Amino acid sequence: MRRLTMRNYKLWIGAAFMLVASNVRAQQDPNFTHFAYNRLLFNPAYAGASGNFCLNAINHQQWIGYEDQTSSIKTKRGTPINEDFVNNIAPQTTGIGFSAPITLNIKGEKINIGGLYGAFMQDNIAYEENTYMRGGFSGAYTLPDGSDIRLGLEFTSLSKALDGSKLRYHDPNDPFIPDARVADTRVTFGAGAYYQNPNIMDGAWAGVSLTHLVPQTFQYGSSGNIKVTTARHLYVMGGYKQENFLGNGALTLEPAFMLKSAMGENGGFIKPELDLQGMVTWNSLYSGGLNLRGYGAGLDALSLMLGYYVPLPSGAMAERSNLRVGYSYDITLSNVYRTSYGTHEIQVNYCFNFELPDRPPKIYRHPRYMIRDPKSD
Q: With contact defined as beta carbons under 8 Å apart, do 205 and 121 qualify?
A: no
What parts of the chain have a pLDDT lower than 70? 1-27, 65-88, 168-172, 221-225, 267, 314-321, 337-338, 354-377
Contact residues for 259 (Cβ-Cβ < 8 A; gap 6+): 234, 235, 236, 237, 272, 273, 274, 275
- pLDDT value, residue 15: 36
Residue 63 carries which DSSP code? S
Beta carbons within 10 angstroms of residue 187's beta carbon: 11
- Within 13 Å of residue 118, how many CA atoms lie on the same side as its CB? 1
pTM beyond cutoff 0.85: no
CB neighbour class for 105 (10 Å; exposed up to 12, middle 13-18, buried from 19): exposed
Q: With contact defined as beta carbons under 8 Å apart, do 169 and 177 qualify?
A: yes
CA dist 298 and 318 (Å) reads: 45
Contact residues for 361 (Cβ-Cβ < 8 A; gap 6+): none
The string of pLDDT tens digits covering residues 100-156 is: 999 888 777 888 899 999 999 999 888 889 999 999 999 999 999 989 999 999 999
Q: With contact defined as beta carbons under 8 Å apart, do 184 and 158 qualify?
A: no
Residues linked to residue 109 through DSSP beta bridges, in sequence order: 106
Q: With contact defined as beta carbons under 8 Å apart, do 275 and 295 qualify?
A: no
- pLDDT value, residue 375: 60
